[in-house]
Amino acid sequence: MPSRILLILVSCALSVVTGLVIARGGAGVAAARQRPLIGLSMDTLKEERWQVDRDLFTAQVQAAGADVLVQSANSNDAVQLQNVESLITQKVDALVIIPHDGAAMAKAVNLAHQAGIPVLSYDRLITDCDLDLYLTFDNVKVGELQAKFLVDRIPAGGKLRLIRIYGAKTDNNAKLFKQGQDNILQPLIAAGKVEVIFEDWAEDWKPESAKKITNAAITKNGPNFDAILASNDGTAGGAIQALTEEGLAGKIIVTGQDADLAACQRIAQGTQAMTVYKPIKSIATQAAELALKLAQGKPIIARDAVANGKTDVPSILLDIVTVTKENLRGTVVKDGFRKESDVFQSTQP
C-alpha cells in the first residue's frame, strides 16, 4: 500500500484516539518563507481585554521567530470578512479569528481552506464549518460561577429578585454564559427562590446597552430587586452607572467577567461584587504556539471537542477563577494581571 495512504490512515486513527490535529496546507508556504506569517482577525479592540489579547499574542509569535498581521473589524461582519480576505491574499500560513458573529465567519473559514490555510477560532466559536481548532475558556462554567455567586447569597428563607443582562446575541459565548447561569438558576426559579424581574441582551456587549436595560428595569420595577447578573465587566459597568444615578450602587449585588481594571477597582470599592478572571496570558500564548504549529503542519493534541453544528471541533478549554474583594490579591494581583496599587488606588485614604 503506497506510504502516503498508510500515513493518512495512521494519522486519522491517531487523531480519533488522542484528539490529534494534523494541519492542512500552511506548511508549504511557511517552509518557503523565512519566518511564518500568522493572520489575526479580531472582532473589536473596544473592550480592554482584547487589547491585552492582541499584545500578548503578537509578542509570543514574534518571540518564536514569526510575524503577525492584525486586523480589527470594529464589530462589523462585512469588514471582518474583508479583513480575512486581505490576510488570505497576503498568504498568511495560519489564521486566528475572534469572530464578531460566529455564524457569519463560517464563510471566512471556507475561503481560508480553499487557499489551504488552517484556522484557529480564538475564545469565541465559529459555527457551521469544518473549523480546524478551537481554543477558549470553559464558558459554561463562567456562567455557573456567576450565578452560583448570587444564589449563595440568597437570604435565609428569602428570595433573590434579579435583573439578567446577557451579552451580544451574535456571540456564541454569550449563549454559553447564559446556559451556565440557567444550569444554576432554573431549579431555584422553579422553587420560587429566584425571580427574574427583567432580562435582555446587550447589543455588541456595549456598556451603554446595559445601562439602558438597567434604566428600563428600574422604571418598570422601581428599586425592588437584589442583584444584577451582568455577563461581563463592560455590561456590569453600564449597569452600575444606572445604579449610581439611583443611589443604589453598592446596595445591589452585581456580577461580571474579564477582571477589567475598572471592575477590579469597583470590587475593591464595593460597587461590584465579583468578576470571573480568565487568564489572558494563557489563552494568548497558547494560541500563538498553536497557530505556529498549524502554520508548520505540526501535530496538535486537543483533548476536548466542541460541536459547532457542522463538526466536532478539536478544542482546548482553559480554566477560570472567581474573583471577589477577599481574593483580589491572591488571584489577579498574584498572577501579575493587575497591579495592587492600580486596583486599590481608589480605596487609599
Judged by beta carbon, residue 43 or residue 226, the one nearer ligand GAL is 43
Smallest separation (angstroms) from ligand GAL to the CB of 166: 11
Q: Which is nearer to ligand GAL, 29 or 274 (CB)?
A: 274
Q: Which is nearer to ligand GAL, 199 or 203 (CB)?
A: 203
Minimum separation from the CB atom of position 70 to ligand GAL (A) = 16
> How would you class 62 by CB atoms within 10 Å of its CB: exposed for 0-12, middle for 13-18, buried for 19 or more?
middle
What is the rounded end-to-end Cα distance, in angstroms, of the chain?
78
Q: How far is the CB of 90 from ligand GAL (least distance, A)?
A: 26
| SS3 assignment for the chain | CCHHHHHHHHHHHHHHHHCEECCCCCHHHHHHCCCCEEEEEECCCCCHHHHHHHHHHHHHHHHCCCEEEEEECCCCHHHHHHHHHHHHHCCCCEEEECCCCCCCCHHHHHHHHHCCCCEEEECCCCCCCCCCEEEEECHHHHHHHHHHHHHCCCCCCCCEEEEEEECCCCCHHHHHHHHHHHHHHHHHHHCCCEEEEEEEECHHHCHHHHHHHHHHHHHHHCCCCCEEEECCHHHHHHHHHHHHHCCCCCCCEECCCCCCHHHHHHHHHCCCCCEEECCHHHHHHHHHHHHHHHHHCCCEECCEEEECCCCEEEEEEECCEEECHHHCHHHHHCCCCCCHHHHHHHHCC
**Dist. CA 6–CA 176, nearest whole Å:** 40
Nearer to ligand GAL, 91 or 281 (CB): 281
Q: What's the closest the beta carbon of residue 25 comes to ligand GAL, in angstroms? A: 28
Site for ligand GAL, rule CB under 6 A: 47, 49, 123-124, 167, 171, 173, 205, 232, 257-258
Minimum CB–partner distance for residue 231 and ligand GAL (Å): 8
CB closer to ligand GAL out of 48 and 130: 48
For ligand GAL, which is the closer residue by CB, 201 or 205?
A: 205
Nearer to ligand GAL, 100 or 113 (CB): 100
| Residue 47 C-beta: closest distance to ligand GAL, Å | 4
**Minimum Å distance from CB 151 to ligand GAL?**
22
Residue 60 vs 75, nearer CB to ligand GAL: 75
Query: Minimal distance in Å, beta carbon 349 to ligand GAL?
Result: 33
**Taking CB positions, which residue lies at the least distance from ligand GAL?**
173
